[in-house]
Amino acid sequence: MKIGPFELPNGLFVAPMAGVTDRPFRQLCRQLGAGYAVSEMVTSRPDLWHTPKTARRANHDGEPGPIAVQIAGTEPAMMADAARYNIDRGAQIIDINMGCPAKKVCNKWAGSALMQDEPLALSIVAAVVAACAPHGVPVTLKMRTGWCQAHRNAVALALAAEQAGVQMVTVHGRTREQGYNGFAEYDTVAAVKAALRVPVVANGDINSPEKARAVLADTGADAVMIGRAAQGRPWIFREISHYLATGEHLAPPLVAEVRQLLLSHLQDHYQLYGEFLGVRTARKHIGWYVSALPGGEDFRQQMNLIEDCATQLKAVAGYFDRINQSMDRLPVAQPGDLARETPRYLETLA
């Protein structure tokens, strides 16, 4: 699996999720078997580049390459500037967001809304490719199957984008109209794969090793991208990798290992966000880790009362020590455990 000049260790990608796939979480997923991670989207609006949120998203200190940054916006020239700005800050791959279901940028719809305006979508692609080419930086595109059920133009748009120089296309198997409702379909992903020469990545509702194998087989895609199912379960990548290689399931992780992973995830998280924001934004991650565990819901609620890092760390360690008294390993994950947070992320761009 290659993106331009970058050879990836495997075709298991962690999806960009604003408010979730920050640098600590991306690094954790990669440590646990993801071959590639795209950052949370960065706005193309220069007036927002200096906000703490955007500055944090553009900080890639210590992150293993290739560093892929996703940009979102509606104006070709601004998107080209955003690409250059991120390249200057270490981006080695630029991903264009045409997958986000509803976000206004500069009073216009960005993300998957661009699929409704193919000429504008392609001008953005052309401008970003032209900005990245002198730096040897590949451009990739993330899209949905189309605008609505009656207007599924992923194949036409992907083909035109490939001709304009895009080097990989990811397709989330839903239309924009669907938001996160219903189910992802993979026929359109398969049609995009059949039409393109560059690598195609299948995305949407992949939440188990079996599902990953089936989607790869059904679509012929070069890779799968996993979003919500990795929330609180970053080891899903090694589980899928093992299953694809052997046809056998890896045993669920030891409680002691998860305790250690979460504590070190939290330390990295606090380092990036600082104490005040760190403790608060860590709560959702902790809630996901414990959601399918005994007493997990009560514990999640207790977390909302804690306002400092040391107490949060101590509470998490104590919780896992308690459940370790009755189980060595996590229970086998059930697909129903994995209905994680769907986007309240729509306000997170700025």
The stretch among 9-17, 115-123, 131-139, 256-264 that binds ligand FMN (CB under 6 A) is 9-17
In this chain, which of 172, 233, 259, 269 binds ligand FMN, going by CB under 6 A?
Answer: 172
Binder among 182, 342, 347, 350 for ligand FMN (CB under 6 A)? 342
Give me the catalytic one of 100, 106, 132, 309: 100
Q: Does 103 bind ligand FMN (CB under 6 A)?
A: no
**For residues 72 and 267, what is the distance between their CA atoms, to the nearest angstrom?**
29
205: left (phi over 0), alpha (psi -120 to 50) or beta: left
Q: Which of 11, 12, 13, 17 binds ligand FMN (CB under 6 A)?
A: 17
Q: Which is nearer to ligand FMN, 176 or 259 (CB)?
A: 176
Piece of the chain touching ligand FMN by CB under 6 A; list 23-31, 94-102, 271-279, 282-290: 94-102
Kindly state whether residue 287 participates in binding ligand FMN, applying the rule CB under 6 A.
Answer: no
Give the nearest distance from C-beta 322 to ligand FMN in angstroms: 29
Cβ atoms 180, 101 nearer than 8 A:
yes
| Candidate residues 3, 11, 13, 18; the one interacting with ligand FMN per rule CB under 6 A | 18
Which tokens sit at 225?
């991208």
Q: Which residue is nearest to ligand FMN (CB)?
A: 227
Tokens 């992780």, located at residue: 253
> Residue 85 or residue 320: which is nearer to ligand FMN going by CB?
85
Q: Find the part of the chain contacting ligand FMN (CB under 6 A) among 29-37, 198-206, 209-217, 269-277.
A: 198-206
Q: Give the one residue of 206, 221, 262, 303 binding ligand FMN; rule: CB under 6 A.
A: 206
Considering only 75, 81, 162, 205, the residue that binds ligand FMN (CB under 6 A) is 205
Among 142, 152, 176, 259, the residue binding ligand FMN under the rule CB under 6 A is 142
Q: Is 110 in the site for ligand FMN (CB under 6 A)?
A: no
106 noted as active-site residue: no
| Catalytic residue list | 100
Interface residue list for ligand FMN (CB under 6 A): 15-20, 40-41, 70, 97, 99-100, 142, 172, 203-206, 226-229, 341-343, 345
